[in-house]
Chains A and B, each alone.
Chain A
């Protein structure tokens, strides 16, 4: 899933301080699952804004709405007749949401309520970890099912580097050295020799470095 975190409330109120009618817009997709943008968080943020409004003597009207997803136009359509009622929309979906809303409703003022962090998963309740960098050419099978692109600080294809110590990365002791883990796992699987083989430099043309990406599947396009 796409993992996001809420923007600080100070930053949010700074964004919307000149508006009177604000819609908080949630998404039932990834951001619900990572506990940042679902119906509950919509309610919590809306309440926080109302409290702020009262404390600062503003006559705020805060609406709450949660869409099935903010990354499909059909669901964005649901806001027709709603968006016009508000001066501003705070989307607490990932970065896709506010853009889809802005594109569909060109006059609306749309603000992001969360910072989109990474593609990853929950390793435990309340702890998320990056797993995918979206490089466009998946290589995890070479590395015991672990991705050095997303999980190595240097995205090394031939690791570990000299900064690996006690299974930790030199950039921070909290950061796991994925190459240490890869080596251990490959050893366990009796495939260490596969790591001896040199991996040529990766082509980054399929990644963000190749410019903004889009994808067309002809068989699905009418």
Chain B
């Protein structure tokens, strides 16, 4: 045994086996083309010259006993910042199936060292909680077709849309209509909304693809899909286009992009679908947004009215926020007034045990159009691991509690609750969404799912990729670098958006038909829900089934 000091060894030394992903490389198939090393977003792959000893039996004393051979091979970096993220870009470009990342079955040691320079671990993407989510486990068990004529999902007409905006109680509606008074704006939209992802977080090609797909869904297929911008404004040409009506503009604590929006108001051809005021998000409650400097391209800088290449942090809280009552009053009314009370305005908050207090304030504000609650499973562009993993509230119980609270006040039709946070994180988007709707949500927002479904995002709950925050998205979805985002064809994204929503629409019908529902979205139809966990059933006030 040699002394350990003769081996490079520091507290942070890692071997490939300590990393979450290990590169499996077959040198017998490798043609040394170098594409894998070129494409690797984090530069973990090294095409290196290496020397190999070739021991040989030598009988003559004039010759040396060993020969050396030099060869070229692929090696994986064990530096924390250059670790393999498992994205699989190398496998995608390898002409010979000679290389791919394999998830380390061991509990990796890397996590203990993932704080170089004292900076805690950050990532983009998701919560990394693999396995069936609670929403995945909810089933629809009240099959009505046994007692009455069945609906045919393929033949009958179904009304699957939902309402976004303040709905008056019927007595008040009739009174105001009679008196010719103001009726709050209400939008009829598809209950699955493309959640807030900013123009800045997403690449221009991704954003364009989403918008094209959304426009096609609305104008050709009659599926009234809307998408939310996230903080950071909206491209000027979109603000002045007829497509603005499919867009929910978000205002958040940094107010980025709002100069451009306010200036465009006189030139708008139509009103936006709604205004979302972000007070919090599921992935990082109590933390403001952050657009890293390398994502602040010329275009983004123009939209946000800032210099190029600077970090753009949003404060954790709105500067105007003294109390929720005051903020709701100020911001909701100001935003409503900007569009002359023709556009629904609603706050987005992170899932929290205090969600009910916010809700009760909204109930008392006649201009509040909805409440959007983003649960702990919500994804993001960038957040500290600790925020993403352990801060927030799961969405199911949060929505249920708020809905039942509204029911107790008889106001469940007046303030629609929208839910987000893990909808479709395992691919079961319609099932997850419909479960939330039957628990009381009027609709759901989805972010990660749409990135995966429409653009082929490589991330998974097993911590694959999840580097949306560093501008190096291998698919070009969350990058402002043209070399990366030109990999993404907006037309193809648009097509996938359309395919995704067509499929969701069919699946909604496949859920509604056996329940005997076709006339309206089954919001709050909790008698149709069951779960194989007594405690959850009791908490959510649904049936325990086994």
Decide whether A and B are members of one complex: no
User: Which residues of B pack against A, CB within 8 Å?
Assistant: none
